[in-house]
Copies of this chain bind each other. A is one copy, B any other.
Amino acid sequence: MESCCSMKGFLTFIVLRLISKKNMSGEDIREEIRKRKGTRPSPGTVYPVLKYLNKNKFIEEISSKGKIKRYKITKKGKKELNEATNKFCMLFYDMKDDISRRCN
């Protein structure tokens, strides 16, 4: 019951954002999130998100030899991400100072 602010949510946003910065595979994403949150999201968390983003053409597979699938963001995905980022910033515009204070 301790710890309010579960911070559940926004995973789709985070994943799309990560891929927009660098082409990534599912495992790359799991690892990057582990670095940031301390916990590695389960496969059952990450792969359905990738599937959803791919299905809706926000990301697409890049030619890959082997079993590792890497994705890159699409035009549509960039547009979507831009809008989502706007919303995020409207909501959290005053987090800027906190971030600066804690992450430099």
Residue from B37, B94, B99 within 8 A of A96 (CB atoms)? B99
Contacting pair B12 A4 (CB below 8 A):
yes
Copies in the complex: 2
A16 to B5, CA, bound (A): 9
A92 to B58, CA, bound (A): 21
Contacting pair A3 B80 (CB below 8 A):
yes
Contacting pair A10 B13 (CB below 8 A):
no
Contacting pair B86 A96 (CB below 8 A):
no
A1 in the interface, Cβ–Cβ < 8 Å? yes
A9 in the interface, Cβ–Cβ < 8 Å? yes
The smallest beta-carbon distance between A104 and chain B, in angstroms, is: 9
Give chain A interface residues in 1-19, CB to chain B under 8 Å: 1, 3-10, 12-14, 16
